A and B are shown apart, each in its own frame.
Chain A
Amino acid sequence: MTDAAFPPARPRGGSLLEPDARTLRRNAAEARFRLYGVTAIAIAMIALMILLISILSHGTSAFRQTFLHLPIALDEAVLDPSGTRDPAALRKVTTIGYGRLIDRALGEAIAASGITVEGLGKSDISRMVSRQAAATVRSAVLADPALIGTTQEFRILASSRIDGYMKGRVTQDSAARDSNVSPAQLHLADALRAQGLLGTSFNWRFITDPDASELRPEAAGLGIAILGSAYMMIVVLALSLPIGVAASIYLEEFAPRNRFTDLIEVNISNLAAVPSIVFGILGLAIFINFAGLPQSAPVVGGLVLTLMTLPRIIIPARAAIKAVPPSIRDAALGVGASKMQTVFHHVLPLATPGILTGLIIGLGQALGETAPLLLIGMVAFVRDYPEGLPGGLFDPASALPVQIYNWTQRADPAFAERASGAIIVLLIFLLAMNAAAIVVRRRFERRW
């Protein structure tokens, strides 16, 4: 190797070692653009974090509930004066009778544990128990009349203010200003907790129970809303998937290109942009007023949401079908496959991941949709569970987003906590649906 020197530098158009002004400007523009991108992502992430933190901090407490653990003497003299155990006679005893038994049991428990709290009347003590408690005991007795005359350990709901105190929503200060609860009651609650008579535990009934009235937020649950939403999703899935996919295949692969199909195409795009409440009015006019389907029924909600979801499924499904390379169609036609064989053997399997993505986005929107459901009567207060499928589709039910909307309107702050809890349930449903879509999509992508 010779160590010959490099030829002398000949800076004709400027040295490469020093970038020229134009290059510098270009690089600066690129750096700025990247910064905008990172900023946008960061803002989105922060907004998402704030949303999640606020929902989780407000809502997780809805899954815990304060209960009283009381031995209640089911006095025969009160519950069955005739002693016949006749169900009709037992039914005559209302919750007022059971309420007295609970008050008596609570008074005895307080006396037995030697708690003394100044300034508490009898009614003050009984107001610490939820109005739902008597109904809980009553239904337990009606289900098993043999309990009458015995003393049973019951887990009954505490009132929403006591529950709020346990969760930190109610304090001694706020109680002093609140006509529904007094500081003395809170002292008693502290004492009961020290004795193990009062405590919080996981509240399955928030997920399984029906909604409750304004006076009993502690008893309100999502059971009917979850069922109603699930029923509606079944209807939406069963209708919009086959109709949407069939429409997309026809429009993309078979339909002639003419004014009529152009018109259909334009209208599908327009329908996707129509506000959902308009679909609610349409559903009210067609399904309830004209077809005579029942109000508040999941089948009507499902039909309305199907109308809303269809264009939102057809558009991505068509895009997915269009994205299948034409060479695959040529190949299939070239070996003598018919149009339909080409579509179903080759085009559709390749378009499936895209179709599923659109389907899940459509279903997710349908699951979270509130406005059209308000118009078809799904805001109604429903206490009775709908039946199983398929009859239950025609029974009144609620829906998760409507339940959230309902609860946020109620005055008692305990409902705010429950609304956040319901949002968590809704988000879990959405996440589960997305996860299912990813699993199915993976399976189809792997299948050769």
Chain B
Amino acid sequence: MNDMSRTETGVNLTDIKIAARKVQVHYGANHAIKDVDVDINDRMVTAFIGPSGCGKSTFLRCLNRMNDTIPVCRVEGEIRLDGDDIYDRRVDPVQLRAKVGMVFQKPNPFPKSIYDNVAYGPRIHGLTRSRAELDEVVETSLRRAALWGEVKDRLAAPGTGLSGGQQQRLCIARAVATSPEVLLMDEPCSALDPIATAQVEELIDELRSRFAVVIVTHSMQQAARVSQNTAFFHLGNLVEFGETSQVFTNPKDPRTESYITGRIG
């Protein structure tokens, strides 16, 4: 059940960051992802859309091996980051996750100060040598997450005391602080109001200049607004994958069209 044909979609193949081939995911007896092939381009936003339970979040969590923490979960196939198979036995998932950062659906700042939230990653990875350097990383990360102006006077305040949208941007700053190469976002705006959503979307567009961004979203408008490439998942299958404009205006598969026009999902 693999309907996509990359050569026809015209997706730019020159700068592929992550390439997934024939990925299968099983949760115990449940076959959650079937034969998925996806290419994630560097410095572009790739959106995963599809109805609830279609496997888009599961697939996203394969890309930084967060599924390893679920004992019944089994991943087959190949996922290559810059040509290295991330499921190779020699790969340490901890090192992988420093390269492939993640932002979760619900804002989940640590119950620590704003500063410590952002500084945590650089600290455990030993990215900075001095306090001044760490201060700088924290400031750049918060600036990149468009949060610096709002929190620069209260870096010692608890991160959990911020508003929902600010918390989510803090989580983005925390993910950015470890200088990842890929940023995975699992429905980052689903808990936010429209204004905070707009801020985060704007931010995603800026982050694109430095990282490959993969975003799972329930909102097709959001996918259309922020992404360059879109993958449509349905019942564990990758139904269609191509440039966002093409997927939304001229879907090849009837199921994609039904979903986009609101007939299924």
Main secondary structure of the interface of A (DSSP, over half): helix
B94 contact set on A, CB distance < 8 A: 336-338
What sequence of 0s and 1s flags, for each residue 409-431 of chain A, a beta carbon within 8 Å of any chain B beta carbon? 00000000000000000000000
A333 with B69: CB separation less than 8 A: yes
Return B260 CB to nearest CB of chain A, in Å: 30
A336 contact set on B, CB distance < 8 A: 94-98, 101, 121, 124-125, 178
A330 with B104: CB separation less than 8 A: yes
B178 with A335: CB separation less than 8 A: yes
Distance in angstroms between the alpha carbons of A338 and B125 in the assembled complex = 10
Return B120 CB to nearest CB of chain A, in Å: 6
Interface residue tally on B, bucketed by range: 20 to 34
User: Which residues 316-369 of A sit at the B interface, judged by CB distance below 8 A?
Assistant: 325, 327-338, 341, 345-346, 350
Q: Which of B71, B98, B120 has the most CB of A within 10 A?
A: B120
B104 with A335: CB separation less than 8 A: no
A331's nearest neighbour on chain B, judged by CB, is B108
A331 with B109: CB separation less than 8 A: yes
Distance in angstroms between the alpha carbons of A328 and B103 in the assembled complex = 12
A331 contact set on B, CB distance < 8 A: 104, 108-110, 171, 174
Distance in angstroms between the alpha carbons of A350 and B106 in the assembled complex = 19
Return B188 CB to nearest CB of chain A, in Å: 12
Q: Is A275's CB within 8 Å of the partner chain B?
A: no
A346 contact set on B, CB distance < 8 A: 110
Distance in angstroms between the alpha carbons of A350 and B125 in the assembled complex = 22
Distance in angstroms between the alpha carbons of A330 and B102 in the assembled complex = 9
Interface residue tally on A, bucketed by range: 20 to 34
Q: Is A259's CB within 8 Å of the partner chain B?
A: no
B175 contact set on A, CB distance < 8 A: 334-335
Distance in angstroms between the alpha carbons of A246 and B113 in the assembled complex = 27
A336's nearest neighbour on chain B, judged by CB, is B98
Q: Are A257 and B124 CB-contacts (below 8 A) given A334-B97, A336-B97?
A: no
B66 with A330: CB separation less than 8 A: yes
Q: Is B64's CB within 8 Å of the partner chain A?
A: yes
Q: Is B265's CB within 8 Å of the partner chain A?
A: no
Distance in angstroms between the alpha carbons of A329 and B109 in the assembled complex = 11
What sequence of 0s and 1s flags, for each residue 125-146 of chain B, a beta carbon within 8 Å of any chain A beta carbon? 1000000000000000000000
Q: Is B112's CB within 8 Å of the partner chain A?
A: yes
A448 with B108: CB separation less than 8 A: no
What sequence of 0s and 1s flags, for each residue 83-106 of chain B, a beta carbon within 8 Å of any chain A beta carbon? 000000000001111100111101
Q: Is A256's CB within 8 Å of the partner chain B?
A: yes
B121 contact set on A, CB distance < 8 A: 335-336
What sequence of 0s and 1s flags, for each residue 81-106 of chain A, a beta carbon within 8 Å of any chain B beta carbon? 00000000000000000000000000
Other A-B contacts than A327-B108, A336-B101, A448-B158, 9 sampled, CB-CB below 8 A, are A257-B71, A330-B102, A331-B171, A334-B97, A335-B120, A335-B177, A336-B94, A337-B124, A345-B120
Q: Nearest 7 A-B pairs (CB), nearest first?
A: A336-B98, A327-B108, A334-B102, A335-B121, A336-B97, A331-B108, A338-B94
Residue ranges of B at the interface with A (Cβ–Cβ < 8 Å)? 64, 66, 69, 71, 94-98, 101-104, 106, 108-113, 116, 120-121, 124-125, 158, 171, 174-175, 177-178
